[in-house]
Amino acid sequence: MSTRPLVIIPDSRLRLVSDPVGRIDAKTRALVEDMFETMYDAPGIGLAAIQIGVPERVVTIDTAREGEEKHPLALINPEIVSASEEISVYQEGCLSIPEYYEDVERPARVRVRYLDLNGEPQEIDADGLLATCVQHEIDHLNGVLFIDHISKLKRDRVVKKFTKALREKERDGKA
Ligand code: GNR
Ligand code: NI
């Protein structure tokens, strides 16, 4: 079990559509363990496998606050089956876009179908922060980032900043 390096924008892997998991085996379980370790270490409340470079439809989530008991949730092949008309706004962040936060509007409640680690179909009704987080993670599985939900002006500005930082890192021989 280990943490794995996070994939940061403008890395093109973040735009991949991840593949469904065929069979849940020891490799899937090892991936999920590394995802939880990486997510808790960051720290973050959610992680999609592509954020550690694995293009599979696997998500980990834990929206429990610091000091509260852990509530790890692993979702394999998650799908939104219904969404509320009511919209809520949360200030979102992303471990692949470090230290950038912006308000995003999404359905306030969603019903999500997924497989658990035993391959059993499950459904959850999510609201509040969990609803936002699970939608943010399913977006990652489709190559979508939260900055795709904000204005083009703001998005272009943040992508430009990270592209410049990467160029400087490469020039200094760090990437
Ligand atoms: O840690 C995270 N916090 C967060 C806050 C508001 C809305 C979504 C998130 S998910 C993010 C971790 C991450 O990048 N998951 O893909
Ligand atoms: Ni993210």
For residue 175, is pLDDT > 80? no
The DSSP symbol for 141 reads H
Give the pair of three-digit tokens for residue 142. Answer: 């489709």
Q: What is the pLDDT of residue 67?
A: 85
User: Would you say residue 87 lies in a domain?
Assistant: yes
The arithmetic mean of pLDDT across residues 52-73, rounded, is 95
- C-alpha Rg value of the chain to the nearest Å: 16
Q: Is 137 a catalytic residue?
A: yes
Q: What is the pLDDT of residue 147?
A: 98
Pocket of ligand 1 (CB under 6 A): 44-48, 51, 90, 92-96, 132-133, 136-137, 140
| Average pLDDT over all residues of the chain | 97
User: Would you say residue 167 lies in a domain?
Assistant: yes
Instruction: Give 67-113 pLDDT, tens digit per residue.
Output: 899 999 999 999 999 999 999 999 999 999 999 999 999 999 999 99
The arithmetic mean of pLDDT across residues 1-25, rounded, is 97
User: Would you say residue 1 lies in a domain?
Assistant: no
pLDDT cut 90: percent of the chain above it = 95
What is the extent of the structural domain holding 104? 12-171
Question: Whole-prediction pTM value?
Answer: 0.97
User: Would you say residue 7 lies in a domain?
Assistant: no
The arithmetic mean of pLDDT across residues 130-158, rounded, is 98
Neighbours of ion ligand 2 (CB under 5 A): 94
Q: What is the CATH number of the domain that holds 97?
A: 3.90.45.10
User: Would you say residue 88 lies in a domain?
Assistant: yes
User: Would you say residue 71 lies in a domain?
Assistant: yes
The arithmetic mean of pLDDT across residues 124-134, rounded, is 98
Residue 36's H or E segment, with its range, is: helix 26-41
Best of 35, 133, 149 to mutate for ligand 1, by most ligand atoms within 8 A of CB?
Answer: 133
**Of 71, 61, 67, 64, the residue nearest 140 (C-alpha):** 61
**Of 116, 150, 110, 101, the residue nearest 134 (C-alpha):** 110
User: How close is the Cα of 171 to the center of ligand 1, in Å?
Assistant: 30
User: Would you say residue 148 lies in a domain?
Assistant: yes
The DSSP symbol for 56 reads B
For residue 14, is pLDDT > 90? yes
User: Would you say residue 83 lies in a domain?
Assistant: yes
Which ligand 1 atom sits nearest the alpha carbon of residue 140?
Answer: 16
173 CB contacts (<8 Å, ≥6 apart)?
A: none
Which of the following is catalytic: 86, 99, 137, 170?
Answer: 137
The arithmetic mean of pLDDT across residues 34-63, rounded, is 98
Total number of domains in the chain:
1
Q: What is the pLDDT of residue 161?
A: 98
Question: In angstroms, rounded to a whole number, what is the distance separating the alpha carbons of residues 136 and 46?
Answer: 9
For residue 118, is pLDDT > 80? yes
